[in-house]
Amino acid sequence: MRYLLALLLVIALALGGTWFVAGRMGGPPIEFKQPEKFIGASTPVEVLIGAPVPQLKELRIVVEQNGKSFPVYALGDAGAEVKEEGAEMVRVTRTVGRDNVPELKSGSARILVTASRPVLYGLRTLATTASRDVQVRLERPRVSVVSTHHFVNHGGAEAVVYRVTPDDVRSGVVVGDIEYLGYPATSAGLPDVTIADPALRIAFFALRYDQDLNTPIRVFARDEAGNSARADFDYRVFPKPFKKSRIELEDKLLDRVVPAILEGTRDVNPTGDNLQKFLVINGELRRKNNEKIASFASQTAPSILWNGAVFHPFTNTGVQSAFADHRTYIYKGKEVDQQVHLGFDLASYAGTPIVASNRGRVVFAEELGIYGNTLIIDHGMGVQSLYAHLSSIDVKPGDTVEKVQQLGRSGMTGMAGGDHLHFTMLVHGQMVNPVEWWDAHWIEDRILRKVREAGAAKTQ
């Protein structure tokens, strides 16, 4: 009898222990993937549950707002994307918004996710709850174009002044699939222009030399909740004939530039003879160097740093090559490569002092593959200038430079047949024809006039 009691006690303890241990195992883990902060008119709610569907007893997603609770998903419902991720995880994506929660209002809300699984052969259920506080935003941003007369040269730049609300939405110009952000016009920093309207923005944009002339161009606005708006505006696009040229590759040039460029880069590691190595440098390394150049767009200042003065045109130098020259490379009478030259080659005497084309801040001053010793000056709002093949550099990243301040000296570093300056302008990392920026009439008509008119319109 005593043994039986003891046995029962042991069994009871074991069961209790198992119950307790099972309870401590906890419910399925829940991880919120999105949204981060906002729910818009239609926003995916995405959660990762740390248990496969067959092991789940319950899975619910609920949106709570103003004391009310709106169920948007329960295990087995249609309308959600349920995807197994390996054997231990399931990803559930359910769109939340006006359609399934018509009562939803702009303001604070909370997303609540509950998941449970049975343990001990269904005797016990272990649940987990996770919540995320969000802001509901159902109104679309409002955007309208203020500036007039937009003329876009193929391979060139243009500016738009527009109005956008609310204040914190991402906006700018989209050309095909390339976005160019706009900046508050209140910080334009142009002399004699005061802009009080905080909703006004300036966006510089470009039609790339290799984009179609009919590429759609419009102003966009998009908030973090995914609500978006667009504004079309009048513009005219002008085709520009790009030159074609042939470049004879001589062994003497290859023997000099190929080892020099390869010594200074880890971005490519070609094998073979000098011509084979050159082709990798001219193609793959050129592409990687251009990506690196474009990456400095993110460091641009949100205001115009160059005070409206025309960019220094380097008129004391001979133009050897113009923008978007389509080059065919010839080696021993055979065509071996084709590339597009996105800049101006300006030659004077060896070691010519190279000056800043306008006021700005140095964002890059280093050796860069085919460009040799390279400088990038930021002029604000996405506008930058690039100087390549320099023999020496006198400035460093972070330095503020004034217009025509000496930056260094010309040279033949990188892929250069002789001493010259390779110069280009950049708009949000896209190389654009610098000729426009050397033209006072263009600066006045495309930029200054629009900013002045926008400022004047608001003070009336």
Q: Which residues bind Zn ion (CB under 5 A)?
A: 343, 345, 422
Q: Cα separation of 368 and 270, whole Å?
A: 17
Contact partners, residue 239, CB within 8 Å, separation at least 6:
154, 213
* Total number of residues shown for the chain: 460
Q: In this complex, which beta carbon is closest to Zn ion, that of residue 94 or of residue 341?
A: 341
Q: Cα separation of 184 and 200, whole Å?
A: 6
Residue 174 bridge partners (DSSP): 179, 218
Q: In this complex, which beta carbon is closest to Zn ion, that of residue 389 or of residue 450?
A: 389
Q: In this complex, which beta carbon is closest to Zn ion, that of residue 163 or of residue 422?
A: 422
Q: Cα separation of 49 and 126, whole Å?
A: 14
Side-chain-side CA neighbours of residue 11 (13 Å): 6
Q: Cα separation of 222 and 229, whole Å?
A: 7
Paired tokens of 240: 């520009």
Other Cβ atoms closer than 10 A to 45 = 24
Q: Do the beta carbons of residue 45 and residue 101 sit within 8 Å? A: no
Least Cβ distance, residue 345 to Zn ion (angstroms): 4
Least Cβ distance, residue 366 to Zn ion (angstroms): 18
Q: In this complex, which beta carbon is closest to Zn ion, that of residue 223 or of residue 325?
A: 325
Least Cβ distance, residue 263 to Zn ion (angstroms): 21
Q: In this complex, which beta carbon is closest to Zn ion, that of residue 300 or of residue 413?
A: 413
Least Cβ distance, residue 401 to Zn ion (angstroms): 22
Q: In this complex, which beta carbon is closest to Zn ion, that of residue 345 or of residue 436?
A: 345
Q: Do the beta carbons of residue 384 and residue 376 sit within 8 Å? A: yes
Least Cβ distance, residue 341 to Zn ion (angstroms): 6
Q: Minimal CB distance to Zn ion: which residue?
A: 422
Least Cβ distance, residue 84 to Zn ion (angstroms): 54
3-state DSSP assignment of residue 193: coil
